[in-house]
Amino acid sequence: MAAVSGNLEGKVAFITGAARGQGRAHAVRLATEGADIIASDVCAPVSSSITYPPATAEDLAETVRAVEATGRKVLARAVDVRDLAAQEQLVADAKEQFGRLDIVVANAGVLSWGRLWELTPDQWDTVVDVNLNGTWRTIRATVPAMIEAGNGGSIIIVSSSAGLKATPGNGHYAASKHGLTALTNTLALEVGEYGIRVNSIHPYSIDTPMIEPEAMGALFAKHPSFLHSFAPMPYHRVADGKSEGLAAFMTPGEVADVVAWLAGDGSATLSGSQIAVDRGVMKY
């Protein structure tokens, strides 16, 4: 993690899917930079079609503990991004507590596997409903409060490499994440007049509970040609003049560094940009 800069001193950040993984890293990183945090997460299973373990209330409590350890304030709540009224209530309560809203990190998301014509309706509906419809609901709930606060701001939409390229074996996820790219670019044009910037990040292979090596292994064993779309990142960690070899994963903290940069004035010239967080793998 980069050193504390206080870059976001006095600002307030709203983060979805903040109980664990990348969302927790973003919450802690933005707090480290000086922002107060609104952290939400469903903290429960979203559907039986999601086969990896769900985040829990204890996970969100751990995010709260980690944010408070930075000295910043945090308002945390179990909220499903599919529930617009609950997100609006959280924004209203945050407005009362913090008086402003500057940063949104729309991070909540789910993943499942299967070829498009073999997916169950529940697999399709859950992934699209959480990733795309839920993110739109986050925008619907937060943007009016940002405009009303009148301080401009930065919105970071968490898409995926699957929001820029084909990913055989999870076309529903790719459809939802491509939808977020369109949402990002349209919103960037719509909120520019309020001094609000909107960019999407497109991570690849981050070490979080969403990654299911067994499910992926089974898919690639059945369809070896799909592996081409999930190539290893063409990048070696180098220390003391020695390569440590290909790293299969990046860490949530490494993605949080990019989110912190997008949240702050260092990225003031960027809006409507798609930031690949992929160590170059999408150039294959």
Ligand X SMILES: NC(=O)c1ccc[n+]([C@@H]2O[C@H](COP(=O)([O-])OP(=O)(O)OC[C@H]3O[C@@H](n4cnc5c(N)ncnc54)[C@H](O)[C@@H]3O)[C@@H](O)[C@H]2O)c1
Q: Which are the catalytic amino acids? A: 173
Report in angstroms how near the CB of residue 264 gets to ligand X at its nearest. 20
DSSP string covering 7-69, please? TTTT-EEEEES-SSHHHHHHHHHHHHTT-EEEEEE--S---TT--SPPP-HHHHHHHHHHHHT
**Residue 174 structure tokens:** 């790719």
Report in angstroms how near the CB of residue 228 gets to ligand X at its nearest. 18
**Does 264 contact ligand X by CB under 6 A?**
no
Long-range pairs of 270-273 with CB within 8 A, sequence gap ≥ 24: 270/197, 270/199, 271/188, 271/192, 271/197, 271/198, 271/199, 272/184, 272/185, 272/188, 272/189, 272/198, 272/199, 273/199, 273/200
The residues in 156-195 that bind ligand X, with binding defined as CB under 6 A, are 158, 160
Rounded Cα distance between 60 and 20, Å, is 7
**Does 205 contact ligand X by CB under 6 A?**
yes
Binding mask 14-53 for ligand X (x = CB under 6 A): --xx-xxxxx-----------------xx---x-------
Report in angstroms how near the CB of residue 107 gets to ligand X at its nearest. 5
Short-list 50, 91, 97, CA closest to 72: 97
**Does 260 contact ligand X by CB under 6 A?**
no
Report in angstroms how near the CB of residue 261 gets to ligand X at its nearest. 17
Q: Which stretch binds ligand X (CB under 6 A): 5-13, 31-39, 75-83, 189-197?
A: 75-83
**Does 123 contact ligand X by CB under 6 A?**
no
**85: amino acid identity, one letter:** A
Report in angstroms how near the CB of residue 196 gets to ligand X at its nearest. 21
Among 2, 62, 73, 82, binds ligand X (CB under 6 A): 82
Q: Count the residues of the shown chain that bind ligand X, applying the rule CB under 6 A.
A: 32
Query: Could you tell me if 20 and 59 are in contact, meaning their C-beta atoms sit under 8 angstroms apart?
Result: yes
Query: Could you tell me if 40 and 76 are in contact, meaning their C-beta atoms sit under 8 angstroms apart?
Result: yes
Give backbone dihedrals phi and psi of 238, rounded to 5 degrees, phi first. -120, 130
The residues in 84-113 that bind ligand X, with binding defined as CB under 6 A, are 107-111
**Does 206 contact ligand X by CB under 6 A?**
yes
Rounded Cα distance between 213 and 192, Å, is 41
Binding site for ligand X (CB under 6 A): 16-17, 19-23, 41-42, 46, 54-55, 80-82, 107-111, 130, 134, 158, 160, 203-206, 208-211
